Amino acid sequence: MATTRKKIVSTTASPWDAVAGGAAAPEPVHAGTAIAPVGPTVPWPRPFDEIRIIDSEYKGEGRPIAEPDLARWILLQPRAPWSTARFIDALCWRLLGNGVPLSRVSLFTNTLHPQIDSLGWRWWRDRGVTEEFHFERGLENTPGYAERPIYGVVEQGIPLRRRLEVDRSEFPLLADLAAQGATDYLAAPLSRLVRRYAAVTWTSDRPGGFGARDLEVLEDIRPALAVVMEANTVRRAARTLFSIYLSSEIGERIFDGQVERGKVQHMRAVVMASDLRNFTNLSDRLPGEVVIRALDDYFEYVAVAVNAAGGFVLKFVGDGVLALFPTEVQGEAAAVSRSLDAARAIVARLEEHNAALGTRSQSWLRAGVGLHIGDVMLGNVGSHDRLDFTAIGPAVNMAFRLEGLTKSLNRPVLTSRAFAELADVPLHSLGLHPIRGFLDPAEVFDLPEHGLAAAFAQGS
C-alpha cells in the first residue's frame, strides 16, 4: 500500500506517539528514503508465505535476566561464537528482565545472495524459541508484501506503532496478533543495508501495551542494535559472496586472511577440467539471452555433480570449469572414485538435457571432461592490486590437455594413467597420445561404459 509522508511537529515525549493510531509518520532522519524501484514483474508471483523459508529454531535461556546497561551489553557481545538467533534470544530475555513486556520480536535484514532476498529472526516468549528464516528472491513482487506492517519500515525507514487494543489495524497480520492477545506493536528501522532498511518489531500482550519507560528502553538500545546487526550482516554477506564467487572452501581461506600475492599452498588432488563444446558456434547462431541460459545450465550441471561428489568448483573460465577433489581427508582412491562419479553425473545430465530439447534443437549441450591426479599449488596470483585465487601446476595443465583430446577422440571423459591406476573400476586404454606442452606422449583412458560416445557427435 502507498504511504504518504508528512512532516509533523510533535511535543510528545516518545517518538512512537507520533506514529500511533494511524497518524502520519514523521519524516525519517535517514538520507535517501525514496522507495527503491520494483524489479521486473514476475509472471506468476508466489504468495508471501511461500517464499518465507524457516531454516532453524534456537531454544535459548528461557528466563528473564536483569541487565543494568542493555546498550553496553549489546555492543560487548562477542560476534563470532554467537549466532544471530542466540544473540536475539539473549537480548529478548534481558529486555523482559528489565521490565519490557515483550511477547514477540522480529528482526529483518537484507543480504547479498543470488537466491535469497533477505534474512529474518522471530522470537516467541511463550514458545521459548527463536526462528531463523529467509525470504527467497522476488519478495517485492509477492502479493501481500505491501500489506505487511513492516513494508514502510524496510522500504522507506518510517517507524510504525499500532495500539492493538484501540486501533482497528489496516494490516491483516496485526489483526491476527490482536486476536491472539497482542496489545501493542512497534516497528523501527535500523541501518540501511543493500537497498532496504534492516528493521526490528516489538510486540506486547500486556494490557495497555508499552509504557513510556518501555518505549524509552527500546529507543535507547536501537542505535546499538543497529550497529551489531549491520556488522553481522556485512560479515555474513562477505562470507556469502566469497563462497559464491570463489567456492566455500576458497572463500573461507580468503576470509581467514590468505590474501598475500605469491603465497601458495601445495595440495594433492584430482583435477577436473570441463569445457563446453561448440560454444563459439552457439554464440554466433543463438540470441545472447539463450546462450547465457545454456551456459548457466551447463555450469549448474557441473557444479551440482562436483559438489555432490565432495569436490569444489574453483573457477569458471569462459565456457570451461576447473574443479578439485582434495585427497587429504579420504585418500587418493576415494577422491578418484568421487570425481569419476561426478564425471558420469555430468554426462548423464547433459544427455537428459538434450533429450528434453528434442532432436531438432539447435542448443544441445556437449562437453568434454579431463581427469588427472597430482600435486597443485593453490593461492593468489596477479598484480599488486588485482589478484586471482587459482590452482597451477603440471597436474592442472594435464587435466585441461586431456579435456582438449575429448573432441578429437570422440569421448566425453578422458583420464590419465595415474588416475586410471587408482580407479575402482577398470578403465579402457586408448593408447599413447601426444599431449601439447608435455615432452612425452601419455597413455589416455576412457570410461568402460558402452554408448557414451554416441551422445557426442564426431564433429561437435
Q: What is the pLDDT of residues 63-103, one digit of tens each?
A: 999 999 999 999 998 765 358 899 999 999 999 999 999 99
Rounded to whole angstroms, the Cα distance separating 172 from 185 reads 13
**Higher-pLDDT residue of 180, 286:** 180
Mean residue pLDDT across the chain:
82
| Cα diameter, the chain | 90
Q: For the chain, give the number of residues.
A: 460
Asked if residue 10 is part of any domain, the answer here is no
The band of 423, judged by pLDDT with boundaries at 50, 70 and 90, is very high
Q: What is the pLDDT of residues 139-187, one digit of tens each?
A: 777 777 778 898 899 999 999 999 999 877 788 889 899 999 999 999 9
Query: Same domain for 230 and 282?
Result: no
Q: What average pLDDT does the segment 251-273 reach?
A: 83
Query: Same domain for 153 and 285?
Result: no
Query: Same domain for 316 and 377?
Result: yes
φ, ψ for residue 132 (rounded to 5)?
Answer: -110, 130
Q: What is the pLDDT of residues 365-422, one digit of tens each?
A: 889 999 999 999 988 888 888 888 888 999 999 999 999 999 999 999 999 999 999 9
Rounded to whole angstroms, the Cα distance separating 94 from 61 reads 10
Number of domains in the chain: 2
Query: Same domain for 60 and 111?
Result: yes
Report residue 431 CA to chain centroid gap: 45
Rounded to whole angstroms, the Cα distance separating 343 from 345 reads 5
The CATH number for 49's domain is: 3.30.450.40
Total-model pTM: 0.70
Rounded to whole angstroms, the Cα distance separating 261 from 451 reads 46
Query: Same domain for 331 and 440?
Result: yes
Residue 361 pLDDT = 65
Query: Same domain for 267 and 351?
Result: yes
Asked if residue 253 is part of any domain, the answer here is no
The CATH number for 275's domain is: 3.30.70.1230
Query: Same domain for 266 and 392?
Result: yes
Asked if residue 327 is part of any domain, the answer here is yes
The band of 362, judged by pLDDT with boundaries at 50, 70 and 90, is low
Asked if residue 257 is part of any domain, the answer here is no
Q: How many CB atoms lie within 10 A of CB 224?
A: 18
Q: What average pLDDT does the segment 324-341 reach?
A: 94
Query: Same domain for 282 and 393?
Result: yes
Residue 71 vs residues 74, 135, 189, 367, 429: alpha-carbon distances, Å? 5, 29, 17, 57, 70
* pLDDT over threshold 60, residue 223: yes
Quick check: 86 and 60 in contact, CB under 8 A? yes
Asked if residue 48 is part of any domain, the answer here is yes
Domain of residue 326, residue span: 262-455
Residue 422 pLDDT = 96
Query: Same domain for 21 and 118?
Result: yes
Hunting for cell 513482487 — which residue is that? 141
Query: Same domain for 80 and 162?
Result: yes
Give 432's Cβ-side CA count (13 Å radius). Answer: 6
Q: What average pLDDT does the segment 277-282 reach?
A: 82
Fill in the DSSP letter of residue 118: E
Cell of 245: 564467487
